[in-house]
Amino acid sequence: MTYDVVFVVASALAIVSALGVVLSSNPFHSALSLIGNLVALAAMYLLLQSDFLAAAQVIVYAGAVMIMFLFVIAYLGGRAHEPVRSRPWWQTVAALAAAVAVAAEIGFAVEEQAFGDGAHVSDLFGAPQAIAASFLGRYVLTFEATSVLLLIAAVGGVTLAARRPAPREAGAVGAFEEVERLAPATSLQAEVVDAETRFDIVRAGSVPDEEGKG
Amino acid sequence: MHVGVAWFLFVSAALFGIGLYGVFTRRSPIILLLSVEIMLNASNLALISFARYWGDQAGQVFALVVMAVAASEVVVGLGLVVAMARRRADLDVDSLRGLRN
C-alpha cells in the first residue's frame, strides 16, 4: 500500500515537473522544475530497488549537471530568455500530435504485453557492490569507453567555451611559440662577466661617464 | 491497483512524449537541452524497470552509462551555448541556419 502511494506521488510529481520544464517561459524555472523531475525519478528508482542509481541520480544529476545549467542560465542573464516570435499554429499542433503519437505507441506496446510480477531478487540487487561487480567485470569495456567519453567531453567543453584571444598584432609572439634566442648561453655568460667588470671600473671612478663629467 | 513494471513504463512513455514536445516546440537551446534530459531520464526509467523485472543487473549498468552520456552531452551543449553567446549570436535554434545552403 505504501508502495502504491509513493509510486502515485512520485509519478505525478515527475510528470507535472516535466510539463513545467517544457511549458515554462522562464529558463530558470525550467531548470528548477527539472530538479524536481530528477528527484521524483530517484524516488521511483528506489521503488525499483536501484539504491545506487537513485543516489547517483541525486548526486550527479540534481547536483552537478543542474548546477552547470543554472550557472550558464545565470551567466547569460536576460539573453537566456526565449525570443518572442509568432509561429504558425499548425507547428504546435503537429508537435503535440507527434509527441502524443510516440507516447501512445509505447503505451500500447506495453499494454499488449502481459507482464508478470517480475523476478525475485535478493537484497543485494542494485547495491553498490553488485553494480561494481557488473561494471568492472562483465561490462568493463563499457566502463572504459564511458571514461574515455567523459574525458573527451571535458576537453571539448573547455575548448568550446574557452575565451578566444584577440587577433595577434604583427610581430607579436604567442604564449607557447618557440622564440629564437638572441644570444646563446656562452656569449650571455661572457656579457655578464663583461658588465660586471665595467661596473667595477665605474665604481672605482677610473672611467668617468657623462654624468660624472657634468 | 497493483503497481507492476507496466506502470513504470507508462510513466516513462509519458515523460518521453513530454520531452519530445519540448524539443519540437521550444527555440531556446537551453530549454532544448533540458527537454533532451527529460527524454534521457525516461529511457533510464525504462531501463531500470526492465532490470528490476528480469532481475538482471545489466539494465542498471546501462542506465549509469546513459547518465554519463547525458552529462557529456550537457557539457558540450552548454559549451556551444556559451560560445554562441560570446559571438553575440542570437540564442535561437531557428536562426542558426548558416549551414542550410
Q: What is the torsional sign of CA B29, B30, B32, B36?
A: positive
Q: What is the pLDDT of residue A214?
A: 43
Give the closest of A50, A110, A163 to B13, CB-based: A110
Q: Where are the domains of chain A?
A: 1-79, 124-161
- Closest Cα to residue B18, out of B35, B33, B6? B35
ipTM (interface pTM): 0.90
Contacts of A75 in chain B (CB under 8 A): 82, 85
pLDDT tens by residue, A121-172: 887 888 888 899 988 999 999 999 999 999 999 999 888 877 766 666 666 6
For chain A, the DSSP string reads: -HHHHHHHHHHHHHHHHHHHHHH-SSHHHHHHHHHHHHHHHHHHHHHTT-HHHHHHIIIIIIIIIHHHHHHHHHHHGGGGSPPP----HHHHHHHHHHHHHHHHHHHHHHHHS---S-----TTTT-HHHHHHIIIIITHHHHHHHHHHHHHHHHHHHHHHSPPPPPPPTT---TTS----SS-HHHHHHHHHHHHHHHHHHHHTSS--HHHH-
What part of B 31-50 touches A (C-beta under 8 Å)?
Answer: 31, 33-35, 37-38, 41, 44-45, 48-49
Q: Residue A202: pLDDT above 60?
A: no
Residue type for position B39? M
Q: Under a CB-based contact definition with an 8 Å cutoff, are residues B48 and B59 in contact?
A: yes
pLDDT tens by residue, B2-40: 778 889 999 999 999 999 999 998 888 899 999 999 999
Exposure b/e, A142-171, CB count within 10 A at least 16 = b: bbeebeebeeebeeebeebbeeeeeeeeee
Distance from CA of A172 to the nearest CA of B (A): 24
Q: Which CATH number fits domain A1-79: 1.20.1270.10, 1.10.10.10, 1.20.120.1200, 3.30.360.10?
A: 1.20.120.1200
A38 touches chain B (CB under 8 A): yes
Domains, chain B, in order of start with CATH, read: 5-88 (1.10.287.3510)
Cell numbers that stand for B90 in this block:
542570437
Cell numbers that stand for B4 in this block:
507492476
Q: Residue B69: pLDDT above 60?
A: yes
Query: For the CA atoms of A114, A117, A123, A124, what is the dihedral angle to 10 degrees?
Result: -20
